[in-house]
Amino acid sequence: MKYFLSYVVAISFFTSCAQQLKLNDIPIKEEVRNYTIKSFVSNINIPWGMTWLPDGSMLITEKSGDLIHFINDEKINITTTFDDLYVRGQGGLLDIELHPNYPENGWIYISYASNEGEGEGGNTKLVRAKLIENNLTQVETLYKATPNTTSGVHFGSRIVFDKEGYVYLTIGDRGNHEENPQNLQKDGGKVYRFHEDGRIPDDNPFTNEAGAKTSIFSYGHRNLQGMAIHPTSGKIWTHEHGPKGGDEINILKKGANYGWPEITYGLNYNGTIITEETERDGMENPIYYWFPSIAPSGMAFVTGDKFPEWKGNLLVGSLKFQYLELVQLNGNNVISRQKIATDIGRLRNVKIGPDGYIYIAVEGKGIERITPN
């Protein structure tokens, strides 16, 4: 009995240690700055989403509600009619993307926190609209998550189109991890997939499940603020904020459960344990997790020929450590990590521009551009 007890104590000691340390982690390398970082669009408080129009000008969302068109070195405020915009905590005007056939159809996709519908508070909404003479018009609602709540956290939200033309949207768990992420009948803690006009694809994974939100593509997520299509495989990569130590990179599979909050490598913010479980059958493990958390936001694969040494690797912004992280990959494995733009500020978004340069959205600054020397 005595031995048994000490065995139990030893086991629980090691198990709890394992949660607080990441063994054999890949240390992040310090920056070697053989490139130049310069301000591209200045004075934007919280630049959230950014994209480029065919003429090379930029559209930038600012969380408090401004939609900025940066053209000919000038910032023009686009008039929007988002009367239901809900600016609270992490919520506000969020991501922006163009339809892959934008030159033909002119559709711009935007996600934002909205107070539309019943109940006090808000939840994430996806719309599409057209930009005509500095006005955003013909706004169509494609999806609005429910219920509205006054929680200020975990709205998501990123938008991407895959190579088949489906549009994906991320919505965080809205701070209600007991009810939302594992329940297919509820919004939140999910990645959603739609046709370009908001219709639900027939082959979405839960179309035949009674009561399920059929727009769900994958579930068991916490708060995803980064999503990108892999340039060669076409797969959807995401990252998500974990709790304390447990930020994840995942490759999405249709219908898969990513485990939050049943399994996680993270702890509660006060250091207490959420669950001892880090894996379970039927739940996906991340391809990489950050410990400590970096608070990831924005995600892009390096494409084009401006940064040949980085090509095919992943860029992720860190809100917490205020740098851009280059995550070097061998297939689906993370093999090294490198700091870029050390101490730049809270890094909210990253994208490769049509010119092949790296654009980063930095809170309190605006958009900065990285060009090779």
Partner 1 sequence: MKNPIHLFSLTFFFFVGCITLEKEKNIESNSKNSILIADKQFQEKTELQKSMQRGKNIYSGFCMQCHLPDGKGVPGNFPPLAGSDWLTEKRSESIYVVKYGQTGEIIVNGVKYNNVMAPLGLSDDEVADVMNYIMNSWENTQNQMVTVEEVKAVKK
Residue 345 contacts partner 1 per CB under 8 A: yes
Q: Which residue out of 69, 99, 154, 177 is catalytically annotated?
A: 154
Closest contact distance (angstroms) between CB of 129 and partner 1 is 23
Rounded Cα gap, residues 217 and 213, in angstroms: 10
Q: How far is CA 147 from CA 153, 167, 192, 286, in A?
A: 14, 22, 16, 29
Residue 346 contacts partner 1 per CB under 8 A: yes
Q: Which is nearer to partner 1, 6 or 64 (CB)?
A: 64
DSSP result, 125-164: EEEEEEEETTEEEEEEEEEE-S--B---S-----EEE-TT
Rounded Cα gap, residues 257 and 251, in angstroms: 12
- Produce one character per residue of 260-291: b if its CB has 16 or more CB atoms within 10 Å, e if not: bbbbbbbbeeeeeebeeebeeeebbebbbbbb
Q: Which is nearer to partner 1, 3 or 269 (CB)?
A: 269
Residue 172 contacts partner 1 per CB under 8 A: no
CB 302 within 8 A of CB 311: yes
DSSP result, 211-234: T--TTEEEE--SEEEEEEE-TTT-
Q: For residues 208-247, which are near partner 1 according to CB under 8 A?
A: none
Residue 119 contacts partner 1 per CB under 8 A: no
Structure tokens at 323: 């740098």
Residue 75 contacts partner 1 per CB under 8 A: no
Among 56, 211, 234, 364, binds partner 1 (CB under 8 A): 364
Closest to 111 in 3D by CA, of 163, 58, 172: 172
Among 22, 69, 88, 144, binds partner 1 (CB under 8 A): 88
Q: Which is nearer to partner 1, 91 or 353 (CB)?
A: 91
Among 46, 53, 139, 212, binds partner 1 (CB under 8 A): 46
Closest contact distance (angstroms) between CB of 152 and partner 1 is 5
Among 26, 53, 71, 87, binds partner 1 (CB under 8 A): 87
Residue 114 contacts partner 1 per CB under 8 A: no
Active site residue 99: no
Structure tokens at 14: 């090691």
Closest contact distance (angstroms) between CB of 174 and partner 1 is 10
Rounded Cα gap, residues 256 and 66, in angstroms: 36
Residue 261 contacts partner 1 per CB under 8 A: no
Among 45, 134, 207, 330, binds partner 1 (CB under 8 A): 45
Grouping H, G, I as helix, E, B as strand and the rest as coil, residue 10 is helix
Binding region for partner 1 (CB under 8 A): 45-46, 63-64, 86-89, 91-92, 151-153, 175, 269-271, 295, 320, 322, 345-346, 363-364
Positions marked active-site = 154
